[in-house]
Amino acid sequence: MDKEREWQVVLNPIAGLRHELTLQTHCPDTDLVSRKLHSERLWEPFETQLWVASQKSADVVVDVGANLGYFSILSALHLRPAAQIFAFEPAADNVALLHKNLALNHCQDAVKTLPVALGDRDVQASLHRSEDNRGDHQIYAGDGDRREEAIAVRRGADALALYTDRIDLLKVDTQGSEYAVMEGLLPLLKASAPRLRILLELTPYSLRLARSSGRALITLIADLGLPLWIVDHIEHRLVPSDAQALCQWSDNVDASAGDRGFMNIYAGSAPAELRES
C-alpha cells in the first residue's frame, strides 16, 4: 500500500453532511493532529457539532488556520453550492494536503484556498514550525527552537476584498496570532454583525508571546456587540459568558507562570439546541 493511501482516514459519520468525510493526513506516527484523526476518526466532536449547526443562514464562511481542511470541508459538505467558503493556510505541506482533501471530498470548486497567513498588515514573515504537531505552527519565535518557513501575511479585510464584503461564519485557530487576525478583519467583522458567528481559540500564553493578550482579544470581540459563550467540550454545551468573566479568566492564566490553559469561545447567536439549559 502506498503511503498516501495508508495515511487516508474515513471519519465517523457526521450528521448533516451530504456524504462521509475522508482525509489525507500527515504520518500519524509523527503528527499529533493526524494521529488523533486516525485513532478517533473525528476531530473535536463538540466543536464539529457546533460548526455544522452554525452553518444555518451562512452564505460566507472564512476558515483561518485551515490546516488539513477539516472545517472548510464540513462547510462544503453542508452548505448549498452558492455559498462562499475561504480557507487560509500558510504552511506549504498543509496546503498540499488541503488541496488533496478538497479533491477527495469532491468540493475543490466549493472552497477558495488562499496559501497565506492573516494578520493586521501585509508583510513577509517566518512561520515557526512544529514538527510533531502540524497544527501548532506559529508566526512568532516563541520559546523553542523551530525550523522556519518563509510565508506571506495579508491583512484579512484586504485579502477578502475581491470576494466579499461580509462574513457570516468565522473560525480562527492560529496559535497566538488571533488578535492580529481579528484586527485585520475588523472592517468586515463590524459590517457583518449582528449576523456574524465566530468560533475562536483563546490561549493567553500564546497571545502574550505574539505581543498581544487574552484581554485585548476578548475586548475586541466584545466590542462587536455579539453574545459570548464558552465552548464546553466536556459537557458538549455552550455556556453563556461575558467580557468581564472571560477577561478575568485570562488575567488569572497570565498570573500563573507558564500556564498554557486555553479555551474555545463562541461569539454570536448560538444554535438553540447546544446552549446550556
pLDDT band at 1 (very low <50, low <70, confident <90, very high): very low
| Of the candidates 261, 196, 272, 204, the residue with the CA atom closest to the CA atom of residue 238 | 272
Q: How far apart are CA 225 and CA 63, in angstroms?
A: 21
For 10-54, what is each residue's pLDDT tens digit? 999 999 898 999 999 998 998 889 999 999 999 999 999 999 999
Long-range Cβ contact pairs of 187-195 (< 8 A, separation 24 or more): 187/157, 188/156, 188/157, 188/160, 188/164, 189/224, 190/224, 191/165, 191/166, 192/166, 192/167, 192/168, 193/224, 193/225, 193/226, 194/225, 194/226, 194/268, 194/269, 195/57, 195/166, 195/168, 195/268
Residue 76 Rama label (left phi>0; alpha psi -120 to 50; beta):
alpha
More confident of the two residues 50 and 146: 50
Range of the domain at 65: 3-274
For 242-262, what is each residue's pLDDT tens digit? 999 999 999 999 999 888 899
Domain count, the chain: 1
Give the per-residue pLDDT at 125: 92
Percent of the chain with pLDDT over 70: 95
More confident of the two residues 48 and 130: 48
Side chain identity, residue 239: V
User: Domain holding 251: CATH number?
Assistant: 3.40.50.150
Average pLDDT value over all residues in the chain: 92
pLDDT band at 5 (very low <50, low <70, confident <90, very high): low
pLDDT band at 131 (very low <50, low <70, confident <90, very high): confident
Given a contact cutoff of 8 angstroms between Cβ atoms, the answer to whether 100 and 108 are in contact is no
- Across residues 188-210, what is the average pLDDT? 95
Give the per-residue pLDDT at 135: 57
For 223-239, what is each residue's pLDDT tens digit? 999 999 999 999 999 99
Q: How far apart are CA 206 and CA 139, in angstroms?
A: 11
Residue 23 Cα to chain centre, angstroms: 17
- Across residues 170-185, what is the average pLDDT? 96
Q: How far apart are CA 266 and CA 217, in angstroms?
A: 13
- Across residues 57-66, what is the average pLDDT? 96
- Across residues 149-171, what is the average pLDDT? 97
pLDDT at 130 over 80: no
